[in-house]
Amino acid sequence: MDSTRWRSTHALALSAIAVGGILTATMPGTATAAPSGPDVSSWQHLDGRFIDWFAVRRSGHDFAMVKATEGLNYVNPYFIQDSLLMRAAGVARGTYHYAQPSLPPQSQAALYAATVLGQNGPLDLPPVLDMENAGGLDPARLINWTRRYLETIELLTGRTPIIYTNPNFWKTAMANTDEFVHYPLWIADYRGNDQPEVPGGWPTWTFWQTTDRGKVPGIAGGTDVNVYSGAQGDFARYAHISGLLGSS
């Protein structure tokens, strides 16, 4: 998700097969491309430039995930700017916290919750925990850390959080635990397959980060691109939208 995120040795641009293969029925007898969107951090603000969220929306993207916080002392300096402009453009907003498990989970959850100021308004997707750093913890302690963070953020925001990870991290650092299958999964898998690898006993994925080298109008340079599977039901309801995304 940023310069520290996992990079697959087989990272590929989003293939036409993957795009065409992920369809969701949104109206009787009608199938349209699944809701899609980038995820961004300060790295997408090259030279301090704004992201043109209106261009992002015009290009067909329904949502975006924005890095809010990391650890105990980092707040994305562009978070408020992006949040306001996304809402103005009608782009549904997801926000994420990059976990630093060497630091207390409850305090990190409190920083995140205070920064995002709620995830229950119009155009808000649930909160996300970005799990790709073990912080020196063994699997048992990392699983415990994750449980405590998720329970705290659910209490603070009132929504069931999403877990972001990649198959290799989950199978090794998290010992491929199936303890968290009741949380929606956002999986990073850049191999260009029709479907991503789903670890940890999850029956399916909710969001799939298909590439970290996407090109999205309105965003300078490369960016991650994601799709929504429909696993949590109608996207408009999941993102607290009322008729803003058309047939999405």
- The number of distinct structural domains making up the chain is 1
- The sign one gets for the Cα dihedral 43, 46, 50, 52 is negative
Mean pLDDT value across the chain: 88
Query: What integer is the mean pLDDT of 154-172?
Result: 97
For residue 205, being part of any structural domain is answered with yes
How confident is the model at residue 2, as a pLDDT? 58
Residue 151 lies in a domain: yes
pLDDT confidence of residue 117:
84
Q: What is the pLDDT of residues 31-68, one digit of tens each?
A: 458 999 999 999 999 999 999 999 999 999 999 999 99
230 found inside a domain: yes
pLDDT bin (cut points 50, 70, 90) of residue 221 is: confident
Q: The domain spanning residue 150 has which CATH number? A: 3.20.20.80
In this prediction, what percent of the chain has a pLDDT beyond 90?
82
How confident is the model over 181-202, as pLDDT tens digits? 999 999 999 999 999 999 999 9
In a domain, 3, yes or no: no
In a domain, 52, yes or no: yes
Give per-residue pLDDT as tens, 66-81: 999 999 999 999 999 9
Q: Which domain holds residue 53?
A: 35-238
112 domain residue, yes or no: yes
Confidence at residue 244, expressed as pLDDT on a 0 to 100 scale:
47
Indicate whether 245 pLDDT > 60.
no
Q: What angle do CA 11, 17, 20 make, to 5 degrees?
A: 125
Confidence of residue 247 (pLDDT cuts 50, 70, 90): very low
Q: Encoding tokens for residue 37?
A: 């969107």
Q: Which residue has the tokens 């008729």?
A: 243
- pLDDT score, position 32: 54
Assess if residue 99 is contained within a domain: yes
